């Protein structure tokens, strides 16, 4: 099962919004939100909440890709999130997530018995490439036990 398939199977909001996991690697995750009238706002574009969920889902996908091998000893959890809506989003939108710290540094902190925190940066773009939103989600790997 791919990370996208796993998230679609285990995260009801990802299924509800029909998110498409386009690319999921430890270096980058790309998730698309199709244009769907049921999730439009008052001006006919994707609702802010749908775009937030899109960005958070992209961040979760890269966290699983980068740290999936740590799941036996730590649980990834979102700690906080911030989003800025930059331009009007219309039509389908895509979120691209990247890690803000090298994964090896995060694992080294986990190895040292710490609870590492790390940012994931997300850019949300419409079809013409314009960035309509920027988001940062701070994640942690909470050690089991």
Domain of 108, in residue numbers: 3-143
Our separate counts of H helices and E strands in the chain read 4, 6
Q: What does the angle CA 144 – CA 139 – CA 21 come to, to the nearest 5 degrees?
A: 105
The predicted pLDDT at position 88 comes to: 93
Q: How many domains does the chain have?
A: 1
The predicted pLDDT at position 95 comes to: 98
What would the two tokens of residue 92 be? 């389908």
CATH of the domain at 124: 3.10.129.10
Output the DSSP codes for 100-127: SS-HHHHHHHHHTT---EEEEEEEEEET
The predicted pLDDT at position 61 comes to: 97
In the predicted model, residues of the chain with pLDDT beneath 70 are: none
pTM summary value:
0.95
The predicted pLDDT at position 1 comes to: 86
């Amino acid at each position: 099962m791919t990370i996208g398939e796993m998230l679609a199977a285990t995260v009801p909001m990802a299924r509800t919004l029909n998110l498409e996991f386009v690319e999921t690697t430890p270096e980058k995750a790309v998730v698309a939100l199709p244009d769907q009238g049921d999730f439009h706002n008052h001006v006919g574009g994707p609702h802010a909440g749908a775009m937030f969920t899109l960005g958070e889902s992209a961040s979760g996908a890269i966290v699983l890709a980068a740290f999936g091998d740590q799941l036996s000893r730590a649980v990834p959890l979102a700690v906080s999130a911030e989003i800025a809506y930059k331009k009007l989003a219309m039509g389908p939108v895509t979120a691209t997530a990247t890690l803000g710290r090298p994964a090896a540094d995060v694992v080294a902190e986990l190895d040292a018995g710490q609870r590492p925190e790390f940012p994931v940066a997300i850019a949300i773009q419409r079809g013409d490439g314009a960035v309509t939103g920027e988001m940062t989600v701070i994640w942690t790997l909470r050690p089991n036990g």
